[in-house]
Amino acid sequence: MTTVTSDYSGNRFELLVQSVTDYAIFMLNPDGIVESWNAGARRFKGYEAEEIIGQHFSRFYTAQDKADGVPARALSVAEQEGRFEAEGWRVRKDGTNFWANVVIDPIRDPQGHLLGFAKVTRDLTERRASQEALRKSEERFRLLVQSVTDYAIYMLDPVGTITSWNSGAERFKGYKTDEILGENFARFYSEEDRIAGLPSRALNTAEREGRFEAEGWRIRKDGTRFWANVVIDPIRDSQGALLGFAKITRDLTERRESQQALEDARIAIIQAQKMDAIGKLTGGVAHDFNNLLAVIVGSLDLARQRRANGGEIDRFLDNAMAAAERGATLTQRMLAFARRQELKLQSVDCMALVQGMADLLQSTIGPTVTIDTRFPLNLSPAHADPAQLELALLNLTVNARDAMPLGGRIIIEASEAQLADGAVAVAGAYIRLSVIDEGEGMDAATLERAREPFFTTKGVGKGTGLGLSMVHGFAEQCGGALTIDSIVNAGTTVSLWLPVSQGNPVHQEDATQYIIDDADTPLVILAVDDDDLVLMNTAGMLEDLGHTVFQAANAADALRMLAQSSVDLVVTDHAMPGMTGAQLADAIEEAHPGLPVIIITGFAELPPHVSGRPRLDKPFKQIELAKAVTAARRQATAGRVIHFATPLDQD
């Protein structure tokens, strides 16, 4: 509130007020009539003093404000409350508008009587124009960000709290704006990522390095995951203080799935090409199998005739068994190549392994070739799959025989060697197991292609062309290598480099123990197979071991029989129509938890979820079936994972 002072003081203040040009400072009488006028008022309102003194101050207001009674209300508020302040549009003499900040104070005498009003007006048009331009710019950017639907664009404060949210974020993260504002962005990460500290590490990286970018799984509101590309940039003021972060996220799930589908298609094409190549080997495979079937059929026919006449039949049965085992070996070679058979690596006594298969090797290569062995007195065990190592040696021995059509000598030797890094394989201790022949040898071009799948120097319809490529792959899977040294007309040396094992060689348990264990505690077993001959054979083996056996021709019959009776064990084939053995095992686990199931298969691979179930590979002998039954019973009791021996495991 302003009061009246002396004339001298008034003159001083009048000089002060008249010199001010940035503010319109003038007096009104109690009715709002202009009684004074300064240079500032003249400058931005446009009226000379003689033009405006005596006029009502309402002429500075817009027609709408005058109609709404704004001038009178301003004086009333100033008188009653001691002050009035507001911003709004005012009108210049030329009729143009300007944005003004207005302050009105009442002027009273010492007794408190109202003498009039002091009115101070400031022209804020330029400032308001700048603010309006900034507001419009911010609004345009807000609309731009809000209109983006393919990207989640939002702001975080320095600790990761969400302060803005656009429609793109709402579209593929699932949260409405009012649901997510004020929450921490860490909720978009998986539980394991939050525990690992990924959200805070992302903000720290962005603050420290000026940018953070990564891809990974994020979580939607409904709990589903999406694959996201994330960019985080720090936001700083003009002094460099951190205000927060700008976060841009893009949903790349479809692109990732497309890339995965493309990769799956590429793998499928490669596999199809591989299988097509195998199809081209039909002649060679048919040749080998016809030879084996001729032995089996002929030997069994002779055995049946000799038995009818009371003659000795053991020799013919042995021939049929040997031919069948060679057929199993050939099948396993094809499966291992086509399905990338998993190795069962363990410590192997190479000397004992070669001695154990000496008769097989000699009977395979025939009488015109002799086999010598050279082993040191002491040889460390190798780290390998014993069954696949036998197969590799058999392949190499057959190749060596074929290189000596007129006969000769094959040497199988072993030694220990310490390799430097890069010499043949990675640095370390190795067992070098070599097959040496005195045959035709290979020239440089043949030696270069010797490891290629399906490459063979044998005639059409002779062999599969998988021998050396299989051995080469086997050596690498064991962590070793394959080397070939050959001189034309001077022979070939093929060496398997197998890592020295750190464990002790695995010795097979006494085979009869499995039969005795089962004989002492006979089981009730359900055998399932869609092939009548195989089912009859499996049931016969189990019954011969002393077990009671029920038979089912398919999975549906097996489930009905299980619902009607109690059994101790199920032995099922895998490749059955309608429901596979793996699916049957799942159904049994659901209906009869804990009931052990052995899956018999001729495939190198089974579905991933079946990997922990007991398995027996075709073809198998009775002793291998006995082992499987015993081990399945132990697993059911102890909860251990068992993979049963293949038919090439030595008893």
Q: b/e per residue, 461-491, with b = 16+ CB within 10 A?
A: eebbbbbbbbbbbbbebbbbbbbeebeeeeb
Weakly modelled stretches of the chain, pLDDT under 50: 1-9, 339-340, 454, 459-465, 508-519, 639-651
**Domain ends where: 197, 219, 251?**
251
The CATH number of whichever domain residue 396 belongs to comes to: 3.30.565.10
Same domain flag for 399 and 476: yes
Could you write out the DSSP letters of every residue in 342-372?
PP--EEE-HHHHHHHTHHHHHHHH-TTEEEE
pLDDT at 291: 65
The model carries a pTM of: 0.40
Assess if residue 119 is contained within a domain: yes
pLDDT at 275: 65
The answer to whether 540 and 583 have CB atoms below 8 angstroms apart is: no
Q: Closest Cα to residue 368, out of 441, 284, 435, 439?
A: 439
Same domain flag for 329 and 349: no
Instruction: Report the alpha-carbon distance of residue 296 to residue 580 in Å, rounded.
Output: 30
Instruction: Report the alpha-carbon distance of residue 353 to residue 414 in Å, rounded.
Output: 12
Assess if residue 547 is contained within a domain: yes
pLDDT at 612: 66
Structural domain that includes position 610: 511-638
Instruction: Report DSSP state, residue 213.
Output: E
Same domain flag for 374 and 446: yes
Could you write out the DSSP letters of every residue in 570-589?
EEEES--SSS-HHHHHHHHH
pLDDT at 6: 44
Assess if residue 644 is contained within a domain: no
Same domain flag for 115 and 169: no
Q: Is 332 helix (H, G, I), strand (E, B) or coil?
A: helix
Q: How many residues does the chain have?
A: 651
Assess if residue 190 is contained within a domain: yes
Q: Are strands 114-123 and 23-28 parallel, antiparallel or unpaired?
A: antiparallel
Cβ neighbours, 10 Å, residue 630: 21
At 412, give phi and psi (nearest 5°).
-110, 115
Rg of the chain in Å (alpha carbons): 47
At 470, give phi and psi (nearest 5°).
-65, -45
Same domain flag for 113 and 229: no
* pLDDT tens, position by position, 185-201: 999 998 899 999 999 99
**Domain ends where: 251, 279, 310?**
251
Same domain flag for 382 and 519: no
Omega cis (within 30) before 386: no
Alpha helix positions (H), 231-281 = 253-279
Q: Is 202 helix (H, G, I), strand (E, B) or coil?
A: helix
Q: Among positive and negative, which fits the CA dihedral 300, 301, 306, 308?
A: positive
The answer to whether 522 and 568 have CB atoms below 8 angstroms apart is: no
Instruction: Report the alpha-carbon distance of residue 60 to residue 123 in Å, rounded.
Output: 13
**Domain ends where: 440, 470, 499?**
499
pLDDT at 520: 54
Assess if residue 375 is contained within a domain: yes
Q: Domain total for the chain? A: 5
* pLDDT tens, position by position, 294-314: 778 877 887 888 788 888 888
Instruction: Report the alpha-carbon distance of residue 609 to residue 20 in Å, rounded.
Output: 89
Instruction: Report the alpha-carbon distance of residue 2 to residue 113 in Å, rounded.
Output: 11
Same domain flag for 376 and 472: yes
Instruction: Report DSSP state, residue 508.
Output: P
Cα angle value 187/191/195 (rounded, 5°): 100
Same domain flag for 391 and 324: no
Can you say whether residue 497 is alpha, beta or left, with left for phi > 0 and alpha for psi between -120 and 50 degrees?
Answer: beta
Question: Please, which residues bridge with residue 599 across strands?
Answer: 572, 615
Q: Is 7 helix (H, G, I), strand (E, B) or coil?
A: helix
The answer to whether 1 and 82 have CB atoms below 8 angstroms apart is: yes
Assess if residue 506 is contained within a domain: no
pLDDT at 619: 78
Contacts by 55-59, CB closer than 8 A, 24 or more apart: 56/31, 56/32, 57/28, 57/32, 57/33, 57/119, 58/32, 59/91
Number of C-alpha atoms within 13 angstroms, CB side, residue 70?
Answer: 19
Same domain flag for 312 and 397: no
The CATH number of whichever domain residue 21 belongs to comes to: 3.30.450.20
pLDDT at 447: 74
Q: What does the block give as tokens for 10?
A: 């008034």
Assess if residue 379 is contained within a domain: yes
Same domain flag for 451 and 528: no
Instruction: Report the alpha-carbon distance of residue 544 to residue 524 in Å, rounded.
Output: 13
Query: If residue 539 lies in a helix (H) or strand (E), which one and from where to where?
Result: helix 532-544
Assess if residue 649 is contained within a domain: no
Same domain flag for 522 and 595: yes
Q: Among positive and negative, which fits the CA dihedral 501, 503, 509, 514?
A: negative
Same domain flag for 214 and 274: no
